[in-house]
Structure 1
């Protein structure tokens, strides 16, 4: 496994969520992610509650491969950055243990500078230092 500075990876990972230009966003994703990488989101409470009513005990939301990840990142950008005026940034303190990196992040209002949300991710890296699996936990 190649050497990766966990905080630099956290910063690059969070920066992808703020990229406005679609072509640049795709290029960032292809540098950051393995081709068959998977983003797995622990859904917000309202989605978990609705799923439980339908008989799904532990739902997850997944996007796999460059196209799906690009769609996921683009929709997040549209909803949170473009419409709500947030930017995403990594918190200090990312740590690496072998091929796994734990990061914390926050959503910041561009209007006030206030932190309005956040979460944590567990990134599993491939042998080239690209993200193979991303387990995202908003609100943590």
Structure 2
């Protein structure tokens, strides 16, 4: 089966759903990406159906994007053939800073062009560390995958505080430094061959 879609546009919409602040717009993106019975899996959890996907994506957005000033973006390496697409997604501070998380995504599409199966794999980045703010964000992602993103208020406060520090907007114990702000990341150049086709 050969699904005729624009791969780069598809990946842009996939990444956009995690950054979308408006609940209604986010729900519209979800229903426009995943089949009604679509499944997403990661190392520790499985989510099936629009309701489960919306709860997962909203929780990730609220904690990692809204509260911690991070943003998700595509690495620009999307490719695919037949009914499959794979790409890499990064998450990091909207302002200057290191990549906090990298994930590799493999999706299988149905004849309607919607996601039937979505598999996410965390990928180590060269700057990844086992302690500090980055590890705290990764721990939250692990708990989110296990269905327990907020075990207690103290952990939630610590996760958000450390994630904000990771974003570089507020040094530990200090105030925001306006001089550290800069415009949003520019999109990287996209490869020319961007449509699904037979090998």
Same-fold call, TM > 0.5?
yes
Q: 2:26 maps to what in 1? A: 25
Which structure 1 residue ranges, 4+ long, deviate > 4 Å from structure 2?
A: none
Higher fraction of strand: 1
What CA distance in whole angstroms lies between the structure 2 residues aligned with 1:98 and 1:113?
37
Q: Compare CA radii of gyration and give the structure with the larger one.
A: 2
Q: Is the 8 A contact 2:103 2:123 kept in 1?
A: yes
Structure-to-structure mapping, 1:41-80, within 5 angstroms: 41-42=42-43, 60-80=44-64
CA contact (8 A) 1:123 1:131 kept: yes
Pairing of 1:1-140 with structure 2 (within 5 A): 1-42=2-43, 60-140=44-124
CA distance in structure 2 between the partners assigned to 1:110 and 1:137 by the alignment = 22
Aligned residues: 123
| Alpha-carbon distance in structure 1 between the residues aligned to 2:77 and 2:123 | 17
Unaligned 5+ runs, structure 1: 43-59
What is the distance in 2 between the residues matched to 1:80 and 1:92?
Answer: 22
Q: Is the 8 A contact 1:106 1:115 kept in 2?
A: yes
Equivalents in 2 of 1:118, 1:85: separation in Å?
16
Displacement of 1:77 in angstroms is 0.2
Structure 2 segments unaligned to the other structure (5+ residues): 125-199
Q: In 2, are the aligned partners of 1:7 and 1:93 still within 8 Å (CA)?
A: no
Q: Which residue of 1 aligns with 2:129?
A: none
